[in-house]
């Protein structure tokens, strides 16, 4: 399971995904094997949880 992350200043989605099981941050880097695992998970029809809304 994965979760999107938003920039707390702009509210924009960041190019990083959070692995829910341990909170790890996984960058959108095709050379990163955890990102490759995320892409595989997504290709199987899964959808990451939406990011928390940013509160000022």
Partner 1 sequence: MSYGQVNADVIGTSVAGSNLGAGNASIMKNRLINGDFKISQYNGTSSVTPTSSGYQIDRWNFQLSQSSKYSLQQNAGSVTPPVGFANYLGITSLSAYTVGASEQFGVFQAIEGFNTADLGWGTANAKTVTLSFQVYSSLTGTFGGSIRNSGTSRSYPFSYSISVANTWTSISITIAGDTSGTWVGATNGIGLYLTFGFGVGSTLSGTAGSWSGNNYISATGATSVVGTNGATFYITGVQLEVGSSATGFEYRQYGQELALCQRYYQYIQTSASNDRLMVGNSYNSTITTFIYSYKVTMRSAPTVAVPNLGAVLNENVAWYIPTSYTVSATNVNNAIIAANLSSSGFGTNNFAWWGQTGSSVLTVTVSAEL
Q: Which residues bind partner 1 (CB under 8 A)?
A: 5, 7-8, 14, 16, 18-19, 22-27, 29, 31-35
Smallest gap from residue 47 Cβ to partner 1 (A): 20
Please give the torsion angle defined by the CA atoms of residues 38, 41, 44 and 49, in that order, rounded to the nearest 10 degrees.
-90
Between 14 and 48, name the residue whose CB sits nearer to partner 1.
14
Between 28 and 46, name the residue whose CB sits nearer to partner 1.
28
Class of residue 19 by CB neighbours under 10 A (exposed 0-12, middle 13-18, buried 19+): middle
């Amino acid at each position: 399971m994965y979760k999107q992350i938003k920039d707390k200043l702009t509210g924009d989605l960041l190019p990083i995904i959070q692995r829910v099981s341990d909170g790890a941050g996984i960058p959108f880097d095709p050379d990163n094997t955890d990102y490759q695992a995320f892409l595989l998970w997504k290709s199987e029809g899964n959808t990451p949880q939406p990011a928390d809304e940013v509160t000022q």
